[in-house]
């Protein structure tokens, strides 16, 4: 059994990407050749791209927690305005 690194509701991002996503649940990955479950470390995530809700399933080893003080984690109201 694989150790689950994230809980539902946590904010994560893929390595090398700036898109912040929210963990929905863990999914079982099934082998079509063997007919059995081979891993339980696939994570279903949701994010919004230009107002459109998108979902995807990712390996938990490719995800990291989003930093709390990251510019994409905070709402845009905290961004300084320049003239």
In a domain? residue 16: yes
Looking at the chain, the whole-number percentage of residues with pLDDT higher than 70 is 65
Q: How confident is the model at residue 83 (pLDDT cuts 50, 70, 90)?
A: very low
What mean pLDDT comes out for the span 15-28?
87
Burial class (CB in 10 A: 0-12, 13-18, 19+), 5: middle
C-alpha closest to that of 68 among 14, 10, 25: 10
- Distance from chain centroid for Cα 58: 7
pLDDT tens-digit readout, 51-64: 899 999 999 989 99
User: pTM value?
Assistant: 0.67
pLDDT at 41 over 90: no
Alpha-carbon distance values, 44 to 4, 29, 64 (Å)? 13, 11, 14
The answer as to whether 83 is a domain residue is: no
Percent of the chain with pLDDT over 90: 25
Number of domains in the chain: 1
Range of the domain at 59: 11-76
């Amino acid at each position: 059994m694989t150790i689950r690194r994230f809980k539902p509701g946590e904010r994560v991002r893929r390595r090398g990407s700036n898109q912040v996503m929210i963990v929905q649940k863990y999914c079982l990955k099934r082998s079509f050749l063997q007919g059995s479950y081979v891993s339980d470390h696939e994570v279903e995530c949701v994010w919004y791209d230009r107002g459109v809700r998108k979902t995807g399933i990712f390996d938990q080893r490719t995800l990291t927690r989003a930093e709390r003080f990251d510019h994409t984690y905070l709402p845009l109201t905290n961004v300084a305005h320049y003239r």
